[in-house]
Amino acid sequence: MEDTDQQSSEEQARAESDMDSLYILPLHIIPLQTSSLKRARMIKNVRLESVIELFNDTDGGSGQIDISELPNTFGWPLKSQHPDARTISALAGLHSFDVYTLRNQLRQIGINVEQEGALQLSQNKRGELMTYMNEFTFPLLRQIYDSADSNADNISQLVQKYKSPDKQDTLDNLKLMADRLGVAIHEVPDFLEEYADIYLSVSYGKYCLNQLIPQIIAFEESIEKLKENLELSNDGCKAPFLCTTF
């Protein structure tokens, strides 16, 4: 029983890690006909190319298949394109697999995820992003509620304005937002959904960049130390990357 709980916990942790990633797309959320493919993941490899990863573990490494090899691997007919081939090809062209970019891009290419609410970051990751998100929501709040008595200081308070039990108050807020944004009232929900996804995606990108900066600085410091090494400095710079000025 304890082993089962531990396995379930590890699977949950891996699922959350996949959805928090910029370069991993678990294919079980995508409507595919090939059942074995649904157990795989699409990832960006070290060359930033989209490939299918069939397995990944510490002992066996990563088993990857190029997109062009899928018809041979899964026995898809060569004379007519398999539906999954078209779907995979569209997904492979995406530049990022973060959930917010996926929400917009999947809508544009007409792919619906099979699990409702699947495109969500883990609760911990969403909490980490709120600081970044506020930087991008304030401009919208100022644009719509620019008066001193607006009482809208963050995105949560903005949402609360549309949960008011006073129907007239809610309607007034909708009319104000539609007027300030230059859209019809019925277009406001779609606008807010796309706005949130775009800016959450930007926020997530900024978060990831901030996580990388210490590693970049450490890399530059390591390169400087290598360049100061006596043996390497007298080697005629046979390693060209060490001669690069950072």
- Give average pLDDT by consecutive 10-residue segment, the chain, 246 residues: 60 80 90 91 91 85 90 84 90 88 82 76 77 66 53 54 61 78 79 71 80 90 82 58 49
The answer to the question of residue 79 being in a domain is yes
CA 117, 66, 53, 109: dihedral to nearest 10 degrees? 0
Domain range for 166? 121-246
pLDDT of residue 88: 93
To 10 degrees, what angle do helices 188-228 and 167-181 make? 60
Are residues 143 and 213 located together in one domain of the fold?
A: yes
pLDDT of residue 15: 79
The answer to the question of residue 215 being in a domain is yes
Are residues 148 and 101 located together in one domain of the fold?
A: no
- Chain centre to alpha carbon of residue 47: 18
The answer to the question of residue 100 being in a domain is yes
Name the domain boundary from 83, 109, 135: 109
The H or E element containing residue 28 is none
Are residues 74 and 27 located together in one domain of the fold?
A: yes
The answer to the question of residue 115 being in a domain is no
Separation CA 25–CA 50 (nearest Å): 10
Are residues 178 and 244 located together in one domain of the fold?
A: yes
Q: Please give the structure tokens belonging to residue 74.
A: 């899964």
The H or E element containing residue 43 is strand 41-44
Name the domain boundary from 79, 109, 139: 109
DSSP secondary structure letters along 84-104: HHHHHHHHHT-S---HHHHHH
The answer to the question of residue 222 being in a domain is yes
The answer to the question of residue 195 being in a domain is yes
Name the domain boundary from 89, 109, 129: 109
What secondary structure letter does DSSP report for 162?
T
pLDDT of residue 147: 44
Number of separate domains in the chain: 2
pLDDT of residue 120: 81
Check: CB of residue 135 under 8 Å from CB of residue 155.
no
Alpha helices in the chain (DSSP H): 2-19, 35-38, 70-74, 83-92, 99-109, 123-144, 155-160, 167-181, 188-228, 230-233
Are residues 130 and 90 located together in one domain of the fold?
A: no
